[in-house]
Structure 1
Amino acid sequence: MEWQQLEYFRVVAKQEHFRKSAEQLNISQPALSRSIAKLEEELGVPLFDRSGRSVELNKFGHHFLIRVENALNEISMGVEEINHLKNPYTGTVSLAFLPTLGLTILPDIISHFNNMYPDVEIQLFQSKTTANIQQLLNREVDLCLIGPISHHPEIEWHPLLKEELFVYVPAGHRLATKSSIHLSEIKEDPFISFKRGLGMREITDHLFEEAGFTPAIKFEGEDVSTLAGLVSSGLGVTIIPAFHGISSDKIKQLSISESKCFREIGIAWLKRSTLSPSAALFRSYVIDCHSS
């Protein structure tokens, strides 16, 4: 049973006349008759009561027509959706990203891209690095905005930017009047850290290891705003990217003298998977914007 047979059947069922149906379908009447006869043979029942060139749907035909119209409508909708998705300017992009990117980097990227391509739908999935990678491997998302991935056999990662990290202290802290400090100057302070498994936790652990001490972790959180809020309440100090959601009357940003206090952000995709035109457009846009 072929899709074309079903379309021919629907037209004949509506016209109830082979010649008129053949003219509408732009095929010969004998070819149309053969197609309908073959369909009936496959089904094992007649679908029409015939009277010369005129035909009339019988009981079998009426029941079958309902299903055929539903099926053909679904196919038509599917073709329309495919045509929509294969257009890079009207398709969908699914993007996983780190929670700590949700305040500055991600909104800027999405805003600029949306201004240029307003009809592209972007689906966002926020999670930690391990979950983002698994979503990518499971083909649940097209792309990820995450930290470096080293030599993964299935994932390609392209660097986009380096984001400076800062120490944040309460406004009344002994170091609050400084503009820059060494990490060793906060080794006695209660430290507010990201939870294990998050990319930022790995970065700060490495920074402290290079500085030669282990911080006294008092609280752990999952996002920048939570950590900054705890600092503003005087509960400790933290290391996060630039944050502007709390008044400088409550929290102070200090540069870090050590030269490697930054995190690298890149975009990742599956090596052996073909991106949709919209996802490929988004990837190219993001890479081009951060290559200049």
Structure 2
Amino acid sequence: MEWQQLEYFQKLANIQHMTRAAELLSISQPALSRSIARLEDELGVPLFERQGRSIILNRYGAMFLKRVNNIMQEYQDGLHEIQELVDPNRGEVSLGFLHTLGTNVVPDLIRLFRKEFPDIHFQLIQNHTHTQLKQLKSGELDLSLLAAMEVEKPIQWTELWRDELYLIVPIYHPLAMKKSIALKELADESFILLKKGYALRITVDEIFEKVGITPKITFVGDEVGTVAGFVANGLGFSLLPDGEEINPRKIAKIHISDVKCERIIGMAWAEGRYLSPAAKQFQKFILDFFEARKKAVKEHK
């Protein structure tokens, strides 16, 4: 059995189309067919069901594919480990983060980091908290920037910073002149929030619950920018962290006085799982960055 046979089998198993798989492998279709036939002869079982021009992975093929995927992953991991040991300033970091952090926080961190480590690259994944936790456990992600949560081993989470959440209203609304307001005063107002499942939505729901309000929700959105845009056009209020989406020419932000209104953001990783030198460099950079920021804030006070 040759390594090339495993590569060809994996590609065909994923594509399940002989012609397209051959094109992607840059070989002829007969050459691919011969390679698969030799592999089946060595294993002593067929791996595909052939129905006319269609080729479908059978149960033997599905079982073998799991093993081949593991072999290929182990090979890639070994290759990466060796390359990174030779040069720890190179490599790739797989970083997950909440949708609401994609406007400025994550781009700023990566921009500053790459000034020091220009040859380290990133694979970026925006997703919900629960999905990112699964991706950390599976090894698909190295690090994640997530809201405060209850985590179970092997996941580790450490706080990085806190954002105040403000009531945001259209700039022309009578409340826009206020410096602060009690959330209880807004029980009859309409709100625009992110969809359920988003970390910020979970936090906002908990805040409303603390003051005993069930908000009237008129619209829900996928992005903070969408929510802010609806607010700017007078379609409701919202609770959001300060950011580039809060255009001061269109939106006013007001401090909430009767309940602690904030979100807590931290970094998560899977304890015991291999972290490349590049990922460790970025992990340390993040911890140092936010520790320095906390000290600067204390000194300013």
Normalised by the size of structure 2, how large is the TM-score?
0.68
- How many angstroms does 1:98 deviate by? 0.2
Deviations, residues 47-80 of structure 1 (Å, cap 9, x unaligned): xxxxxxxxxxxxxxxxxxxxxxxxxxxxxx9987
Distance across 1 between alignment mates of 2:140 and 2:80:
19
Give the corresponding residue for 2:150.
150
What amino acid sits opposite 1:179 in the alignment?
Answer: K
> Does residue 84 of structure 2 align to residue 85 of structure 1?
yes
Partner of 1:171: 171
CA deviation after TM superposition for structure 1 residue 103, in Å: 1.6
Stretches of structure 2 that go unaligned for 5 or more consecutive residues are: 2-75, 293-301
Residue deviations 1:62-106 (CA, integer Å, cap 9, x gap): xxxxxxxxxxxxxxx998755433333111100000000112221
How many residue pairs get matched?
217
Q: Which amino acid aligns with 1:85?
A: E
| CA distance in structure 1 between the aligned counterparts of 2:94 and 2:153, rounded to whole angstroms | 22
Partner of 1:183: 183
Deviation at 1:250, TM superposition (A): 1.9
The CA distance in 1 between the partners of 2:213 and 2:117, in whole Å, is 48
1:211-259 deviation line (CA, Å, top 9, x unaligned): 1111001111122111101101110000111033454232111122245
Aligned in 2, Cα 1:258/1:287: closer, same or farther, shift over 3 Å? farther
Counterparts of 1:137 and 1:92, CA distance in 2: 18
Question: In the aligned structure 2, how far is the partner of 1:156 from the partner of 1:104?
Answer: 24
> 2:113: which partner in 1?
113
Please say if residues 92 and 279 of structure 1, whose CA atoms lie closer than 8 Å, have aligned partners that are also in contact.
yes
Separation in structure 1 between the aligned mates of residue 147 and residue 270 of structure 2, nearest angstrom: 15
In the alignment, residue 105 of structure 1 is paired with which amino acid?
V
Q: 1:291 maps to what in 2?
A: 291
Alignment partner of 1:264 is 2:238: no
CA distance in 2, matches of 1:78, 1:160: 29
* Alpha-carbon distance in structure 1 between the residues aligned to 2:233 and 2:83: 50
User: What CA distance in whole angstroms lies between the structure 1 residues aligned with 2:196 and 2:153?
Assistant: 25
> Which amino acid is the alignment partner of residue 237 of structure 1?
F
Q: Match for 2:146: what amino acid?
A: I
SS of 1:176's equivalent in the other structure is helix
Q: Residues of 1 paired with 2:161 and 2:258: CA distance?
A: 19
What is the SS of the residue equivalent to 2:119?
coil
User: TM-score, normalising length from structure 1?
Assistant: 0.70
Distance 1:132 1:151, change over 3 A: closer
Q: Distance in 2 between the 1:156 and 1:128 partners?
A: 17
1:199-238 equivalence runs, <5 A: 199-238=199-238
**Larger-gyration structure (1/2):** 1
- Residue 61 of structure 2 is matched in structure 1 by none
Q: Give, in whole Å, the separation in 1 of the partners of 2:125 and 2:282.
A: 16
Q: Distance in 2 between matches of 1:134 and 1:250?
A: 39
Give the whole-Å Cα distance in 2 for the aligned partners of 1:134 and 1:85: 25
Is the contact made by 2:224 and 2:245 (CA closer than 8 Å) also made in structure 1? no
CA distance in 1, matches of 2:194, 2:271: 30
How far residue 108 of structure 1 moved from its aligned partner, in angstroms, is 1.8
* Residue 13 of structure 1: aligned partner: none
**Identical-pair percentage:** 38
C-alpha distance 79-127 of structure 1, shift in aligned 2 (>3 A): closer
Question: Secondary structure of 1:264's match?
Answer: strand
> 2:158·2:268 contact (CA, 8 Å) conserved in 1?
yes
User: Does the CA-based 8 Å contact 1:208-1:214 persist in structure 2?
Assistant: yes
Aligned-pair RMSD on alpha carbons?
2.1
Greater mean alpha carbon deviation, residues 252-261 or residues 126-135: 252-261
Distance between the aligned counterparts of 2:241 and 2:251, measured in 1?
Answer: 14
Letter aligned with residue 95 of structure 1: L
Moved more, 97-106 or 146-155: 146-155
* 8 Å Cα contact 1:85/1:92 also seen in 2: no
Counterpart position of 1:103: 103
- Once the two structures are superposed, residues 147-206 of structure 1 have per-residue CA deviations (whole angstroms, 9 ceiling, x without a partner) of 123241220011111111111101222211112111122221110011111111110011
Looking at structure 2, the residues matched to 264 and 257 of structure 1 have their Cα atoms a distance apart, in angstroms, of: 18
Structure 1 pair 159–78 and aligned structure 2 pair: CA distance change class (3 A): closer
- Secondary structure, in 3 states, of the residue corresponding to 1:273? coil
- Give distance in 2, aligned partners of 1:124 and 1:92: 10
Counterpart code for 2:84: L
What SS is found at the alignment partner of 1:290? helix
- Which residue pairs with 2:281 in the alignment? 281
1:125 match: secondary structure: strand
